[in-house]
Structure formats: C-alpha cells, structure tokens
A = this chain, B = another copy of it.
C-alpha cells in the first residue's frame, strides 16, 4: 500500500529526492523476455531532461539511467527492475532562505506541516525531478507494450500555453518534434517562443499549460468497473504528476455543455469491426476501451518559483517576503509532455496485463 506506488499488475514505485544521491523507480510486474537495456530507456529520459534549451530550467543533469536488476543478457526476467538515476548537478548554494520560509504555491508548507521535517534542498521529493523516474518506468512499459500490442502508439503534445491555444486546423504531428514546446501547430510554437522569452526575461514570471496525450490502436476491452476504469486510472496517473490541477477524458469539462444527441458517438460496422462517427468519449465507455483513440488532457499550473517578490511566513510564524532565485522552468508544462506519455504507457501496459489475467482473451467478438 505504498503511497509512492501505482499500478496493479505493472507496479512502479518511485523514490529519491531532488538533491539526494540518486532517484529512481522500482518496477515490478514487467513480463519476462522483453528486450531491454539502458539505451532503450535513455532515449525517453533525454526528452525530459533539463537544460536542453533556454525554455527549460538551466540545471544540467545527464539523467543517465542504470538498470540494477531484473534484466539478464538483454532480456527482462520477470523480476523487479531497479532503475537508478544519479543526481550530478547538486549545486551548493545558500538554502537559508528556503529553509526557514515557505514558498507560496509550493509544497514547502504542507510537507512541513505533515512531516515536521523536509529536505529543503530543491524541494526534496516534491520536486519535478521525481518525474524522471516516471519517464524511466514508462520506457520499460513501452518496450513491454511493443511485445504485447505492437501497434499501440502514444503521442503527447502541448495544446495550450497560458491562454494561447493551438489552432486545431493547423495540427501537424510532424511539427511536434520540430520546436521546443512539443507543439503540433508551428505558428503557435513561434508565438509561444516569443511570449515565454518575454515572460522569463522581462516579466520574471512563469505560465501554465495544457498537454494532450493520445494512444492509438489500443484494443477494445481494457479497463474494468468501477474503480478499475481505464479513464479513472488515466486520471489518477496524470493528476499525480507535480503541478497538475485538472484532467479530462475525451471532451472533458466541455462534455457538460453538450446534449445527449451531440455527445453520444454513433456506431456503424466497418471492415475491421465497430466504427464510431466521432470520439467525444475519448475512446472509453463505462471505463472500458472501445478501440478508438484514448484521448486525455491535463493542465499544469505555472511554476511557483519565480523571480518576483511574494508575501509569505517563516517556520516560526512571522510575516515576511520571499523571492526565489534559482534555475527554474518558466513553463514546467513543457517537460510534462514526456511525463504524460510515460504515465499513459504505464496505465496501458497495466491494463493489458490485467485484462489478460481477468478474461484470458477478448470474450465478445462482434459480427
């Protein structure tokens, strides 16, 4: 019942602090005989790692992952896979300000109130660095999915930065990897670039974002009533990411504005099985996948560590002010994209394995 674990069949426990010796993920339940080595995981970590461009934190971390167990001669053995990333750029600095004051919008105050102790160096366990462990675990999940359901594709991208949204009519999946923002709309990406530069340099501010993650070619039948719904598990996974404040499946909050006729995706028979006239449902009905694309979105709040003066209190209860100097992401949502993809991969693998255990194989062929 570890509160640092998620997943039923594919169980990931992340551990480690921002400024401790290392962090990582203990991954249990990966099927045996999956091809795996550190390089296959590293490729995903490289997408998330800091210091890659001027739009993310300037902390420099190699984020090199080592596989400490569970792999033998390039194949998983079915045993726990220990993934370890050593922290290298733990810049020595003066923490006295953070040590005694609580940063507004930060977990500083709640960790203190709950535990009576906190690792004040860089946020400890509440740091976004924890998500590196998720990305590593997601890398394992992807390799296992490749073996079980090789057609599944998972794609994440940013659809909104601050109040600037992409124009869906300009959606171009190739653009996603051609800008610093995982933005499928290259025009929007250009505007975001200018906006973020101003925000960072002039305004000493940060901004929120919305990320969308889509999984294609997911077989029908994944998920289970009523607390094992795959949409519930996706929501759980995404909401557990640092700074996430909202999660949507399919039409999400906008579903409230629809009528029944608008919302229900009509069904017809296609050459390969049921087809749907639309995907308001985000690929999930009754918590179980329909075979359509799984679609989710999540909102990431703006980084609270900013170069502006904010009112706060000290541990001894005195009113004071704080300004957070440091190497922080002006839009932490950018680096949340590979994290969202990784969480989606973990959820899908978990449900592929769970489904196999529950019903053996698809039970209800249509037609």
Contacts and interface: CB of A to CB of B under 8 A. Distances in A.
Contacts of A162: 256-259
Contacts of A52: none
Given A113-B366, A207-B260, 14 more contacts: A2-B26, A3-B28, A3-B29, A6-B227, A17-B77, A68-B84, A72-B117, A77-B124, A210-B256, A255-B299, A260-B308, A268-B313, A274-B313, A353-B358
A282 B13 CA distance: 27
Contact of A246 (B221, B249, B291): B249
Interface residues of A, number: 163
Contacts of A15: 26, 28, 68-70, 79-82
A225 B268 contact: no
Contact of A21 (B68, B227, B251): B68
B4 A259 contact: no
Nearest to A288: B110
A208 to B, nearest CB: 4
21 contacts: A9-B357, A16-B69, A31-B360, A77-B115, A77-B117, A78-B358, A105-B265, A109-B274, A111-B288, A115-B363, A116-B359, A163-B257, A208-B263, A235-B239, A245-B248, A251-B301, A255-B300, A260-B305, A260-B308, A266-B312, A268-B311
A246 B252 contact: yes
A5 B364 contact: no
Interface in A77-91: 77-82, 84
Interface stretch (A39-47, A175-183, A316-324): A316-324
Contacts of A325: none
A20 interface: yes
A173 interface: no
B32 A116 contact: yes
A106 B15 CA distance: 33
Interface stretch (A55-63, A184-192, A198-206): A198-206
